[in-house]
Amino acid sequence: MLEAVWIGFAFSLGLVVRAIGLPPLVGYLLAGFVISATASDLNLPPEGPSIIHHVAHLGVLLLLFTVGLKLNVRSLGKPEVLGGSTLHFVLSIVLTLPAVLFIFDVSWYQALMLAVALAFSSTVLAAKVLEGKREIRAFHGRVAIGILIMQDLLALLVMSLANGTTPSPWALLVFALPLLRPLLYKLLDASGHEDLLILFGLMLALVIGGQGFELVGLSSELGALVFGAMLAKHPRAGELSKSLWSIKEFFLVGFFLQIGIDGLPDANAWLFAGVMSLLLPLKALLFFLLLILFKLRARSAFLTSISLTNYSEFGLIVASVVLPEWLIPLALTVAISFVISAPLNRMAHPLYDRLCNWLLKFERNIHHPDEQPVSLGDAQVLIMGMGRTGSAAYNYLKNNRKIIAMDSDPAKVREHQRKGINIFYADAEDQVFWQDLHFGDVEAVILSMNDVEAKMIAARKLRNAGFKGFIVSHSMHDDEARDIIAAGADQTYLTMSEAGVGIAEHVKQHCFGVVGK
């Protein structure tokens, strides 16, 4: 009965909100509130909420583990991450505290704890959105994830201080965990490609990382993240992440359901959530200005800020420890922030495209080292996006044409440069990139970025900038292909269909000696 209700409501409302252009997770939030309102009529057993809380917790652990698999630990020490997260945390508290004290009848301690709880942004939502758009490795994605991890560490510190508890002395063993990396690498290699690989990931995320850290007085979320990060440099880290994808997505549905299942809000809760939702633009503006201060370009600062414009599930965890009577108002506030943030993130790229002329006025003259513009030189072909598709195109053309490639992931750029590939850092959606771009001898452009919006914007920008050459793109779906062509591309190729054609071509050549027929 429980499974039928949860899955039925989640699927039905997820389908409805998707039909009106919102992400399904908004429907899952609504499903939680509907289940809470009708729990007595549905005759659900009393242990239902505790079960869904456990499922939600597993989903969060798996999400953080997969985030760790894509994490560059060194990025946490960068000024925009360390300074941006700390300054935003402090300034958010300073700005939110007077509003809470003035509007609501609370003590100074309650106001301070509420301000602290609202200072965090949602790791679950931001990571899910960035991962869904394949931007978690992009520069703005890595900055956002780095800031979120720093916020999570601050949340753990707040909870420890509020509880008056300290980790076990055994927690010091965490500093010896890097010594286990060679063993973990060997276990990952020995796990194969099927069920053992999935079990290995679950064991690290839920058992060794999650429960292991709890046993020594540390956060299970931190444990899952740490063990994921320890495998981040392994060549099969991406494969492990993909193998856990479906399991993680299913458990995360429970996370969004639990926010609504926790209880129905009263009038005061709605008032609190409404006021705090009005402060979300201030949260976004503060992030944007701080990141500009740390030399980020307007586009990177804007996209990072949009990812962080929400309230955090960690705020609920903090409230459950120090302000349990405020848990439902905060849960409603978090839910509304998700409803606002989800469509904003979906529209982030075209939204920047509309606002870029105004946002560029805030840029400093000194840019972040990862965002320096370069020249295309005498290249004949420009490849935008150097994932598997872009890399394959580069390797195929490099002996016959002068090729130059670009990518929005500085780490990927450095990796390709070490291999001798002619590549530079830039982002096709950055207005400054297009303002400074001279096409030179470029005759053709290959659009191989992951995000379909990025391809559409790039095609449109190329044509608006006067490029008359050939533009070709790959795509996963027919409707996306039509949109890319409408934006200015000459041709699009459906990736899976072309892969099948390529295999058939090899069969013809090998078995029948026929080429191109």
**pLDDT tens readout for residues 56-108:** 888 888 888 887 887 767 777 788 898 999 999 999 999 999 888 888 888 88
Taking 70 as the threshold, does the pLDDT of residue 483 lie above it? yes
3-state class (DSSP) for residue 72: coil
Residues 30, 260 contacting (CB under 8 angstroms):
yes
What mean pLDDT do residues 464-489 have?
86
Cβ-Cβ contacts under 8 Å for 90 (sequence gap 6 or more)? none
- Band of residue 187 on the pLDDT scale cut at 50, 70, 90: very high
H and E: helices and strands count for the chain: 26, 6
3-state class (DSSP) for residue 383: strand
Residues 428, 409 contacting (CB under 8 angstroms):
no
181 vs 183: CA distance, rounded Å: 5
- Band of residue 309 on the pLDDT scale cut at 50, 70, 90: very high
130 vs 139: CA distance, rounded Å: 11
Residues 258, 54 contacting (CB under 8 angstroms):
no
168 vs 13: CA distance, rounded Å: 44
372 vs 173: CA distance, rounded Å: 41
Cα–Cα nearest to 124, from 161, 93, 155:
155
- Band of residue 501 on the pLDDT scale cut at 50, 70, 90: low
Residues 130, 294 contacting (CB under 8 angstroms):
no
What local confidence, expressed as pLDDT, does residue 159 receive?
Answer: 66
Residues 235, 292 contacting (CB under 8 angstroms):
no
Structure letter (DSSP) for residue 440: T
What mean pLDDT do residues 487-502 have?
77
Q: What is the pLDDT of residues 202-228, one digit of tens each?
A: 999 999 988 888 888 777 888 888 899
Locus of tokens 């191989």: 448
3-state class (DSSP) for residue 288: helix
Q: What is the pLDDT of residues 136-158, one digit of tens each?
A: 767 788 889 889 888 877 876 77
Beta bridge partners of 383: 405, 446
439 vs 494: CA distance, rounded Å: 27
Q: What is the pLDDT of residues 169-186, one digit of tens each?
A: 888 888 888 899 999 999
Cα–Cα nearest to 208, from 236, 238, 187, 237:
187
Q: What is the pLDDT of residues 13-63, one digit of tens each?
A: 889 888 886 778 778 888 888 887 777 777 766 667 778 888 888 888 888
Sign of CA dihedral 314, 30, 54, 210: negative
